[in-house]
Amino acid sequence: MAHIVFNNLCVDFPIYNTPGRSLKNHLMQAATGGRMGSNEKGHVVVRALQNISLELKEGDRLGVIGHNGAGKSTLLRVISGVYEPTVGSVVVSGKVNSLIDLSLGMDGEATGIENIYLRGALLGFKRRWLSTKVKEIVDFAGLGDFIEMPLRTFSTGMQMRLAFSIATLEQPEILVMDEWLTVGDANFQEKAQQRLNEIVKKTSILVIATHSPELVQRVCNRMIKLERGDLITT
C-alpha cells in the first residue's frame, strides 16, 4: 500500500566559502528561496524545506505550488530519495517513479541502445527484464535505426522521446512530476499524453509541482503551498 509521511522534515544545503558579511548574506537570501543560517559547524546553509509535516495516502493527487525557489523541486527529490532530510524524517512506502530529470545519467557518446541500459539502471530496472523491453522502447520513441547511433547525433526532440519512453516504461505506485510533461513533436505528444494519462490514472499517489492553478484543479484532489521552504496551506 502506497504511503508517504513527512515528520518535521528539514533539508539544508551548505554554502561553502561564503563570507559572513551581512550585506552579502542579505543578497544571497534575497536571491534564494530558502532561509539563510548556519549549522553547528558554523557553515552557511540554505534551509530549502522547513518543518514539513504531511501525510499522503492511496488516492491522493497532491498539487504543490509556490514561486521559483520555494522548495517544490526539493520536496519531490526527497520523495524520490535524491535528498536526505537534515532534520526530521520521511517514510515512503511504494515504488516511486520520478519524471523530473528524464535524461539524467544518459551519455552523449553512448548509443541509444546503451543509453536505454544506462538510464534503466538508474531507474532500478533489472537488465534481463529491460532487454525484453528494448523493442517496445524503440518503437514507442519512433527512432528506428537511429537507436544504434551515438546519442549526441540525436536531435533534442529525439533524445527526449527516448528518455520519456524509458522513464514511463513501468507503472509506479507513486509518481512525482515537476510540471506536466510535454515531449516531442505533435504526433509524439499525442501518444505521450495518452501514456502519461494512463500512468497517472493507475498510480496510487501523484505529487506534481506546478505554477498552474488550472492543472491543480483538473488533476489534483489536494494542494499545498510552499513559501521559502515553509508549508503554508494544505
Q: How many other β-carbons are positioned within 10 Å of the β-carbon of residue 58?
A: 13
Q: Is the pLDDT at 42 greater than 70, yes or no?
A: no
Instruction: Give pLDDT tens digits for 96-109.
Output: 999 988 888 899 99
Q: Give the H/E segment covering residue 176.
A: strand 174-178
Instruction: Give pLDDT tens digits for 65-105.
Output: 999 989 999 999 999 999 999 999 999 999 999 998 888 88
Q: What global pTM score does this model have?
A: 0.84
The single-letter code of the amino acid at 92 is: V
Q: What is the CA radius of gyration of the chain?
A: 20
- Measured CA to CA in angstroms, residue 44 lies from 40, 47, 70, 164 at distances of 10, 10, 19, 38
* pLDDT given for residue 234 in this prediction: 60
Min mean pLDDT across 25-29, 65-69, 187-191 is at 25-29
